[in-house]
């Protein structure tokens, strides 16, 4: 199996920026693009308060494949560093949080141990209890 086959799928999250139905931006991302390499780069940037654009570039650019964010003329904006530089940091943070929440395992999964393993995983000696 090729490494590229491990994460070919995409998911879409809705980022709500207001109360109306039209106040939603659909963001399509690749969950499999989040790697330990990206996580390591985020750790390096975490303590730098001036690194917001870099965090967006390191985390969001590799993940986001498309969105329906438009310019003032109704043209869909590309997902690029140049566009990120024009977007309010608060909105980029909202995208980050929506993707993070979507990518997390089911928070209602029963846990029986202090290490957070799913019910049955410890007894079976593997993580096969996930999703059951």
Side-chain-side CA neighbours of residue 19 (13 Å): 0
132, pLDDT greater than 50 = no
Confidence label for 95 from pLDDT (cuts 50, 70 and 90): very high
3-state helix, strand, coil split of the chain in percent (to 5) is 40, 15, 45
Quote the pLDDT of residue 26: 96
Angle ∠(114,115,118) on CA atoms, nearest 5:
95
Write out pLDDT tens, residues 16-65: 988 877 899 999 999 888 778 877 877 777 777 666 667 777 788 889 99
Q: What is the pLDDT of residue 32?
A: 81
- C-alpha span between 91 and 100 (Å, rounded): 14
Mean pLDDT of 79-98: 89
Write out pLDDT tens, residues 101-113: 887 766 554 444 4
Give residue for tokens 């399509």: 28
pTM of the model: 0.67
Q: What is the DSSP string of 3-15?
A: GGGGS---EEEEE
Mean pLDDT over all residues of the chain?
76
pLDDT at position 73 over 90: yes
């Amino acid at each position: 199996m090729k490494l590229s086959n491990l994460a070919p799928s995409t998911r879409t999250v809705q980022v709500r920026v207001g109360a109306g139905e039209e106040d939603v931006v659909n963001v399509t991302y690749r969950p499999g693009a989040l790697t330990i390499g990206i996580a390591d780069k985020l750790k390096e940037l975490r303590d730098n308060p001036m690194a917001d654009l870099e965090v967006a570039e390191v985390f969001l650019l590799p993940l986001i494949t498309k969105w329906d964010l438009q310019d003032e003329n109704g043209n869909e904006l590309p997902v690029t560093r140049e566009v990120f530089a024009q977007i309010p940091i608060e909105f980029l943070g909202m995208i980050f949080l929506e993707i993070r929440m979507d990518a997390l395992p089911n928070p209602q999964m029963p846990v029986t141990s202090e290490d957070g393993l799913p019910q049955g995983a410890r007894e079976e000696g593997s993580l096969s209890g996930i999703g059951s």
